[in-house]
């Protein structure tokens, strides 16, 4: 039952944060939404902060590459598509990401998660770019692609929270990658 209850609480946290933001989110609201006692949050997560961090780890887990993709261009395409997935574009996830980014500036635990996320994205992109580009272009290509993904996601989400249709943004990111490869191919 523990994994089921934890998932219920994480999903309830996403929903409550989407409705009332971080500062309006309380253990009481989350436990009511999940249909569980507030004591269970303390038992599993310690406090609200622990639950918020677990919720962010849940969203970050969805960004991991879980299957082997040998073709470097297909792997980059997968990374782009995964960052613009329906999971990441849902209004509950979008609002939670906005709160996460703002809070990570002042909260050590969330800042650490943000650094891990940022570094992982750039490392995954660089891994594939190493097979496609001249060595001196890899780091810049990975950093620029990561910034493009974040920028398009942020800009689009701020204007259309909850829509989750990132088709145009995915197309633009993929075209940018192809342009880089054409310009700097080995």
Q: How far is CA 31 from CA 16, 18, 40, 44, 93, in A?
A: 10, 15, 8, 12, 18
Query: Rounded CA gap, 144 and 125, in Å?
Result: 10
Residues in Cβ contact with 5 at an 8 Å cutoff, skipping those fewer than 6 apart: 34, 36, 40, 44
pLDDT of the residue at 164? 58
Q: What is the mean pLDDT of residues 44-72?
A: 91
pLDDT tens for 6-37 read 999 999 999 999 899 888 999 999 999 999 99
Domain positions in the chain are 2-57, 64-184
Query: Rounded CA gap, 80 and 146, in Å?
Result: 9
Instruction: Say yes or no to pLDDT of 109 above 60.
Output: yes
pLDDT of the residue at 163? 59
Instruction: Say yes or no to pLDDT of 102 above 90.
Output: no
Query: Rounded CA gap, 12 and 44, in Å?
Result: 14
SS3 133: strand
Instruction: Say yes or no to pLDDT of 92 above 90.
Output: no
Class of domain 2-57: mainly alpha
Q: When comparing pLDDT for 150 and 90, which is higher?
A: 150
Instruction: Say yes or no to pLDDT of 161 above 70.
Output: no
Q: When comparing pLDDT for 54 and 86, which is higher?
A: 54
Q: Mean pLDDT for the chain?
A: 91
pLDDT tens for 69-87 read 999 999 999 999 999 887 8
Closest among 16, 9, 91, 107 to 58, alpha carbons compared = 9
The answer to whether the beta carbons of residues 110 and 52 sit under 8 Å apart is: yes
pLDDT of the residue at 8? 95
Torsion of CA 83, 84, 90, 93, to 10 degrees: 20
Q: When comparing pLDDT for 176 and 99, which is higher?
A: 176
């Amino acid at each position: 039952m523990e994994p089921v209850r934890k998932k219920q609480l994480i999903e309830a946290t996403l929903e409550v944060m989407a409705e009332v933001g971080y500062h309006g989110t309380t253990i009481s609201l989350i436990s009511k939404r999940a249909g569980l006692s507030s004591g269970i949050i303390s038992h599993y997560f310690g406090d609200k902060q622990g639950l918020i961090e677990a919720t962010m780890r849940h969203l970050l887990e969805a960004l991991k590459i879980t299957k082997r993709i040998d073709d470097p261009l297909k792997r980059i395409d997968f990374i782009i598509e995964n960052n613009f997935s329906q999971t990441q574009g849902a209004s509950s996830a979008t609002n939670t990401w906005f709160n996460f980014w703002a809070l990570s500036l002042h909260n050590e635990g969330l800042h650490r998660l943000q650094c891990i996320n940022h570094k992982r994205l750039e490392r995954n992109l660089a891994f594939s770019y190493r097979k496609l580009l001249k060595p001196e272009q890899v780091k810049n290509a990975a950093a620029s692609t990561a910034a493009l993904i974040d920028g398009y996601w942020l800009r689009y989400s701020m204007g259309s929270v909850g829509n989750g249709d990132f088709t145009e943004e995915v197309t633009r990111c993929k075209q940018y990658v192809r342009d880089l490869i054409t310009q700097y191919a080995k």
